[in-house]
Amino acid sequence: MKTENHVREEVTIRFAGDSGDGMQLTGLLFTNTTALLGNDLRTLPEFPAEIRAPAGTVPGVSSFQLHFGSTEIMTPGDVCDVLVVMNSAALKANLSLLKKGGVIIVNTDGFDQKNRNLAKYPEGVNPLEDGSLSSYTVFEVDVSSMTKEALSETDLSYKDVNRCKNMFVLGLLYWMYNRPMEPTIKFLNKKFGKDPTIAEANVKVLKTGYHFGDTAGIFTSRYTVKEADLEPGTYRNITGNESTVLGLVAATKKSQLPLFFGSYPITPASDILHGLSRYKNFGVTTFQAEDEIAAVSSAIGAAFGGSIGVTSSSGPGIALKGEAMGLAVMLELPLVVLNVQRAGPSTGMPTKTEQADLLQAMYGRNGESPLVIVAPRSPADCFNMAFEACRIALEHMIPVMYLSDGYLANGSEPWKFPQEKDLKDIKVRFELPRENSEEPFLPYLRDENHVRSWAIPGTQGIEHRVGGLEKEDETGNVSYDPDNHEKMVKLREAKRDKVADFIPLQEIDQGNSSGEVLVVGWGSTYGSIRTAVGQLRKEGMDISHAHLNYISPFPRNLEELMRRFDSVIVPEINNGQLVRLIRDKFLIPAKPVNKIKGRPFGVQELKDAILNITSGKQEAAES
Amino acid sequence: MATPTKIDEFKNGNHNGETPIPKYTSRDFSSDQDVRWCPGCGDYTILKQVQNVMPDIGVLKKDIVFISGIGCAARFPYYMDTFGMHSIHGRAPAIATGLKVSRPELSVWIITGDGDSLSIGANHFVQLLRRNVNVNLLLFNNQIYGLTKGQYSPTAPEGTISKSTPFGSIDHPFNPLSLSMGADGTFIARAMDRDPKHLQKMLLRASQHKGTSMLEILQNCIVFNDGAFELFTDKKSRPRKTIYLEDGEPMVFGSDNEKGIRLDGLTPEVVELGDTYSKDDLWVHDEKDTTKANLLARFFEHPAKGDHLTFPRPFGVLYAVDRPAYDEGVAIQNAEARKRSEPDLDALLQGPETWEVT
């Protein structure tokens, strides 16, 4: 059969299988190859919280979605064009995410009676045979047998052979989308360097899959996705957690300070601990503490000693750190708290994304406890904002909360990475040693930005005490004076608010600088909002998009910018949090768009929601 | 050599003997703050002894840090003219760990109490000991919550009548020294507020030990638990009810050193010295003997409960062994990482794989 070559502007592929089937690796390798070809892309890995949920069941399904194209790609795609399913459960769990008329590549071995039972298809029902997939193009491929056959001459165990299955699928997809195998072969040889038989087996199966596409005669189409029109430069692919790590390391280098990272493992933040622990040569010390409280407390101890104190967690852990964060507010020490948000409350859905910790960051401590809040907008932006979090904490002697989330943490995108020389130096003001000074040292004396100096142990002549008790202005001595307390509360707030003079003014991301509708987002919704607003603008709507990286304090011009529009819409992956802050602070009747399903916004659903609001359908429905 | 940073210039201490230590007096360690414990509180004398010992620990004042949690004892750092932090309840060990690991040249002292360390902060307490961070922990044990005005504490004996236990407490108390042994502490000692000379000696020993030094100090709360330790602190009963440990010395006690402790296998017994037993038959204290330290830590009947004391309460260093300190290990690992590869930020940012867009 003749295969036709088609050119596609963008494609979304979703790999789905059992958590033991290696779908994350398959997706990652396809992503890396695709990145090297110069496509723009976004990824969305989705995996169960269980390490190995019962094999073959729906809860055990692990998926990886990749959206790539020759145009700007800002989301992992609402629905996929191609769904690869390794077993019945994968089909059951993911079919709703495949667009009508889409392609399903099926590993037939995963659809035997046993697998169908595990996926809880009713007795006697086989989705491959009952016509339920008739609106899709289904390619049935016996991946398991062909993998076995390809490796029949090796003496690998059944288990090892079975583990190569994912490479067959990857090879087939490479053929289908005209991608080279070399980067993957290089990777496999490196990964299994110590075990060349395994490396060879994987490479062999990869090639078998590729050639199967060529020779099987069942595939009528191949696709080409041309290079995207990315800004010229050198790129790499990066996930949010990886770029967070690099942002912290860069801050260490540009401040010439040691970084102390106290952390306790928690999904989806642990990769930051893993990543940083490899960079001790940069002056990074990582400390896996006994609990979340010890993690933040150790970081405060290190900050007292002159290190960049950083701690990381996700919602439940942040809740535990609350009291210590209050201490850092009171001590006025630099502290960076990384919150890689996940769906809550309580343990919630650890592997699912959410933006529901914003109000916790803002208000989740006892007393008047203002700190700075920043939020990255994309996986690569995690680098910028992690660096910014350190800069603000150090230059303003204040705790900074950094709000990433599971979607940013695990998602990836091409990154035109900076060079060291492009990064700004971070300047800190240490209190200097004194020789026999009669002047008493005043640890809470402030500069014009209300910032005190960093007075670290080891400095001659400035021995002093700090603590969580309310302190007298300037001297830092314990004080229960009513006027002093009010003064200090206001001072700590003024210090936080003053940070607004040292962050960029809010910009309009796209659209006119005034008009009918302004969509205001923050954090990981950037890609979805950008794409949705872009499409609505093409469709003729007067709509603009502004995306916040700085939430506490807000950029100085935010109010004025919002007031240039007739209406403001705030989409969030929560039940409405930024929208409350905006209404509270500016008395602007901003309207929320909320999704609380553990997944990012789809572009279409966001467009629909915006149109609903602008057409007045939802006028009175909310709050 | 660790990665050089801006805070290196603050490290010109006497760590390597480069700066001579001035002749300090105890007054040099007294801050300008008024001490505000209850009159007659045992904390006063502990403060005084710590200030007395500081000139002798061989550290510049600028390199000494006191960190406390919450409780009456936790006010301590305010009264020391050193660096200090009065932190949050139970977390001083965690804060001290972060400080010591990032600044190993500092002399770090944790001031804590029985509630702070054995209740709300018990986790950090045991973790500190197992890690063996090179800090000194002074555990002021008064068997009561003073600052919150008189509830029973995790070291209060069963049956303690307190504000929150009007019918007597049901909780079984912690034995802080056994707990420390269980956590693999490397320096475990006990002193009391009413024996200042011995307390000074113990403070000095604690400061010299490399690793976590856990010094329990029995401290009288004059308001809420007066006399809890009177049997041990009273000059009359002390000789019979306490035993002062000396490494390498036979375990003798009593007003005229007429009693001793003998080991029958691994079972300790109190014997009268005289015709049947002489000093040569007694258990000879060995600070490095784990098994015997565990036995000693178990000499823990509670007089307040009305128990007859079979054994005298041991004071002194029960246990002192060498084990690498956590902060040392971190420093070594960081220095090795630095030796293995130069920190090249551009290479790191570039990552393993890149592509060009033209």
d(CA A340, CA A353): 9
Question: Looking at the structure, do residues A20 and A100 belong to the same domain, yes or no?
Answer: yes
Does B10 touch chain A if contact means CB atoms closer than 8 Å? yes
Residue among A588, A567, A583, A571 nearest A516 (CA): A567
* SS3 label, residue A337: strand
Question: Looking at the structure, do residues A499 and A515 belong to the same domain, yes or no?
Answer: no
Q: Is A621 within a domain?
A: no
Of the candidates A183, A294, A419, which has its C-beta nearest B94's C-beta? A294
Cβ atoms of A43 and A12 closer than 8 Å: no
Q: Which residue of B has its CA nearest to A460?
A: B62
Of the candidates B62, B354, B358, which has its C-beta nearest A459's C-beta? B62
Write the CATH number for A108.
Answer: 3.40.920.10
Residue among A3, A53, A45 nearest A25 (CA): A45
What's the pLDDT tens digit per position in B118-148? 999 999 999 999 999 999 999 999 999 999 9
Domain's final residue, options A482, A503, A524? A503
* Pair of tokens at residue B163: 């504000």
Where in the sequence is the domain holding A129, given as residue range(s)? 4-224
pLDDT for B1 = 56
| Whether residue B221 has pLDDT greater than 60 | yes
Question: Looking at the structure, do residues A236 and A288 belong to the same domain, yes or no?
Answer: yes
The DSSP call for residue A56 is: T
Residues pairing with A137 in the sheet = A103
Mutation pick from A30, A182, A242, A304 vs chain B, by most beta carbons of B within 10 Å, is: A304
The helix-helix angle for A23-36 and A165-176 (nearest 10°) equals 30
Write the CATH number for B169.
Answer: 3.40.50.970
Number of A/B CB contacts below 8 angstroms equals 237
Confidence of residue B7 (pLDDT cuts 50, 70, 90): confident
Torsional sign, CA A430, A435, A441, A446: negative
d(CA A17, CA A318): 33
pLDDT for A623 = 45
Question: Looking at the structure, do residues A498 and A517 belong to the same domain, yes or no?
Answer: no
**Beta strands per DSSP E along A229-371:** 233-239, 259-263, 284-288, 308-313, 335-341
pLDDT for A622 = 46
Give the lowest-confidence range in A74-83, A256-265, B1-10, B163-172: B1-10
Question: Looking at the structure, do residues A52 and A84 belong to the same domain, yes or no?
Answer: yes
* Pair of tokens at residue A163: 């583990």
| Whether residue B244 has pLDDT greater than 90 | yes
ipTM of the assembly? 0.97
pLDDT for A217 = 86
d(CA B213, CA B206): 5
Does B7 touch chain A if contact means CB atoms closer than 8 Å? yes
Question: Looking at the structure, do residues A63 and A149 belong to the same domain, yes or no?
Answer: yes
Write the CATH number for A597.
Answer: 3.40.50.920
Question: Looking at the structure, do residues A408 and A532 belong to the same domain, yes or no?
Answer: no
Question: Looking at the structure, do residues A202 and A236 belong to the same domain, yes or no?
Answer: no
Residue among A613, A505, A602, A510 nearest A568 (CA): A613
d(CA B44, CA B47): 5
Assess whether the previous peptide bond of A268 is cis (omega < 30° from 0). Answer: yes
pLDDT for B13 = 65
Q: Is A603 within a domain?
A: yes
pLDDT for B151 = 96
**Beta strands per DSSP E along A376-415:** 399-405, 412-415
Is B10 in contact with A456 (Cβ distance < 8 A)? Answer: yes
Cβ atoms of A36 and B355 closer than 8 Å: yes
* SS3 label, residue A203: helix
Residue among A395, A400, A462 nearest A429 (CA): A395
Counting as low any pLDDT under 50, the low residues of chain A are: 618, 620-623
Is A463 in contact with B62 (Cβ distance < 8 A)? Answer: yes
pLDDT for A3 = 84
* Pair of tokens at residue A85: 């399913």
Is A293 in contact with B81 (Cβ distance < 8 A)? Answer: no
Question: Looking at the structure, do residues A495 and A513 belong to the same domain, yes or no?
Answer: no
Percent of chain B scored above 70 by pLDDT? 96
Count of structural domains, chain A:
3
Q: Is B319 within a domain?
A: no
pLDDT for A47 = 81
Type and span of the H or E element at A521:
strand A515-522
Is B351 in contact with A460 (Cβ distance < 8 A)? Answer: no
Strands A515-522, A565-572: pairing kind: parallel
Write the CATH number for A363.
Answer: 3.40.50.970
Count the residues in chain B: 358
Mutation pick from B102, B125, B126, B339 vs chain A, by most beta carbons of A within 10 Å, is: B102
Is B345 in contact with A253 (Cβ distance < 8 A)? Answer: yes
Mean local confidence (pLDDT), B32-38: 94
Q: What is the largest CA-CA distance in chain A?
A: 94
Q: Is A255 within a domain?
A: yes
* SS3 label, residue A395: helix
By CB atoms closer than 10 A (0-12, 13-18, 19+), residue A1 is exposed
Question: Looking at the structure, do residues A204 and A347 belong to the same domain, yes or no?
Answer: no
Q: Is B254 within a domain?
A: no
pLDDT for B152 = 96
Count of structural domains, chain B:
1
Is B98 in contact with A236 (Cβ distance < 8 A)? Answer: no
Q: Which residue of B has its CA nearest to A261?
A: B98
Cβ atoms of A234 and A38 closer than 8 Å: no
pLDDT for B8 = 87
* Residue appearing with tokens 């054994």: B311
The Cα of B51 is separated from the nearest Cα of chain A by a number of Å equal to: 15
Domain's final residue, options A443, A472, A503? A503
Q: Which residue of A has its CA nearest to B14?
A: A458
Q: Is B261 within a domain?
A: no
Does B341 touch chain A if contact means CB atoms closer than 8 Å? yes
Q: Is A446 within a domain?
A: yes
Confidence of residue B52 (pLDDT cuts 50, 70, 90): very high
Residues of chain B neighbouring A293 (CB-CB closer than 8 A): 91, 94, 124
Side-chain half-sphere CA neighbours of A153 within 13 A: 4
Question: Looking at the structure, do residues A291 and A204 belong to the same domain, yes or no?
Answer: no
DSSP string, A599-610: SPPPHHHHHHHH
Residue among B32, B29, B70, B33 nearest B50 (CA): B29
CA distances in angstroms from A608 to A115, A171, A370, A482, B177, listed in the order given = 38, 38, 37, 53, 66
Count the residues in chain A: 623
Does B334 touch chain A if contact means CB atoms closer than 8 Å? yes
pLDDT for A437 = 74
Cβ atoms of A287 and B98 closer than 8 Å: yes
| Whether residue B306 has pLDDT greater than 70 | no
| Whether residue B17 has pLDDT greater than 80 | no
DSSP string, A450-508: SPBPB--TT-TT---EEESS-B-TBT--B---HHHHHHHHHHHHHHHHHGGGGSPPP-E
pLDDT for B307 = 58
The DSSP call for residue A622 is: -
Cβ atoms of A25 and A166 closer than 8 Å: yes
Mean local confidence (pLDDT), B250-258: 96
C-alpha triplet A170, A175, A179: angle, nearest 5°: 85
Domain's final residue, options A503, A520, A538? A503
The Cα of A277 is separated from the nearest Cα of chain B by a number of Å equal to: 10
Assess whether the previous peptide bond of B312 is cis (omega < 30° from 0). Answer: no
Q: Is B263 within a domain?
A: no
Mean local confidence (pLDDT), B335-355: 94
What's the pLDDT tens digit per position in A398-438? 999 999 999 999 999 999 999 999 999 999 999 999 987 78
What type of residue is A50? E
Q: Is A620 within a domain?
A: no
Confidence of residue B304 (pLDDT cuts 50, 70, 90): low
Type and span of the H or E element at A24:
helix A23-36
Of the candidates B67, B100, B356, which has its C-beta nearest A234's C-beta? B356
The DSSP call for residue A228 is: P
Other beta carbons less than 10 A from residue A565's beta carbon = 24
pLDDT for B353 = 86
**SS3 per-residue string spanning chain B:** CCCCCHHHHHHCCCCCCCCCCCCCCHHHHECCCCCCCCCCCHHHHHHHHHHHHHHHCCCCHHHEEEEECCCCHHHHHHHECCEEEECCCCCHHHHHHHHHHHCCCCEEEEEEEHHHHHHHCHHHHHHHHHHCCCCEEEEEECCEECCCCCEECCCCCCCCCECCECCCCCCCCCCHHHHHHHCCCCEEEEEECCCHHHHHHHHHHHHHCCCCEEEEEECCCCCCCCCCCHHHHCCCCHHHHEEECCCCCECEECCCCCEEEEEECCEEEEEEECCCECHHHCCECCCCCHHHHHHHHCCCCCHHHCCCCCCCEEEEEEEECCCCCHHHHHHHHHHHHHHHCCCCHHHHHHCCCCEEEC
Return phi, psi of residue A49, to 5°. -70, -30
Question: Looking at the structure, do residues A143 and A248 belong to the same domain, yes or no?
Answer: no
